[in-house]
Structure 1
């Protein structure tokens, strides 16, 4: 099963990072990479089943927003190649925050796995995760 994983330490407390990323309908923290985040339907951005379209291309559904575990899980239902529904199935993304108590920072992990006959989506997702994690760190760096 193909997968992708990236992580970064953000120099901000876990609660501040969580407040920034938990709303599925708000990607304003990543404005250089995500030009448009359109909420679809009536569900709130922290309610399982919420849907969004990113950059008029990625159709995603929120599967879990867990305040206790600081975890967001979502699916990509359709998108551009190589993550289109014709090329990839069962795409599950997982964004997880872990407090680094020694210096009050946050380890941010972003991973995903999916089913596909091709490995092309791995590098594609890798580049997106790197860009988004760097933007998050730049937005919240308290040093």
Structure 2
């Protein structure tokens, strides 16, 4: 398995950030320029619900919610096959951790997936730098400007 990880500190209370991202069907905060929809009218915290995201020049991406926790402020999802991402067995977790010093929040986004060994570095950069970093930057903008503190491992 290949692993991609990105984290950042948001200068907002964890409850405020969780309120923004809690609904798996709401994806506008990611700044992708299009809205996701949930299939079958299920709520955005229902494990098993499927989020459909439009993809330019291709079929929509479908993502299934595998776990959702208000207590842990996070969720895990998988990309339904076939994946338009160029990988297989993609599973990601987005979670928030309260930082009590300054009433801030650590946002962590990670994914595991399979891909050919020759593609690993590019796929990790794709998800970490051109995905998670961009989407969490858009979340920061949606919440209001704040300092950026990043850990890329």
Specify which structure has the higher proportion of helix. 2
1:48 is aligned to 2:51: no
User: Do 2:3 and 2:111's aligned partners in 1 also have CA atoms closer than 8 Å?
Assistant: yes
Equivalent-residue separation in structure 2 for 1:75 and 1:37 (angstroms): 15
Q: 1:81 to 1:111 in 2, by over 3 A?
A: closer
Aligned length: 137
Matches within 5 A, 1:57-136: 57-77=60-80, 78-83=82-87, 88=88, 90-117=89-116, 118-119=119-120, 120-126=122-128, 127-136=130-139
Cα drift, residue 34 of structure 1: 4.4
After TM superposition, the structure 1 stretch with the greater mean CA deviation from structure 2, 11-20 or 36-45, is 36-45
User: Do 1:10 and 1:141's aligned partners in 2 also have CA atoms closer than 8 Å?
Assistant: no
Runs of 4+ in 1 over 3 A off after TM superposition: none
TM-score (norm 2): 0.82
Equivalent-residue separation in structure 2 for 1:5 and 1:65 (angstroms): 19
- Gaps of at least 5 residues in structure 1 are none
TM-score (norm 1): 0.87
- Gaps of at least 5 residues in structure 2 are 147-153
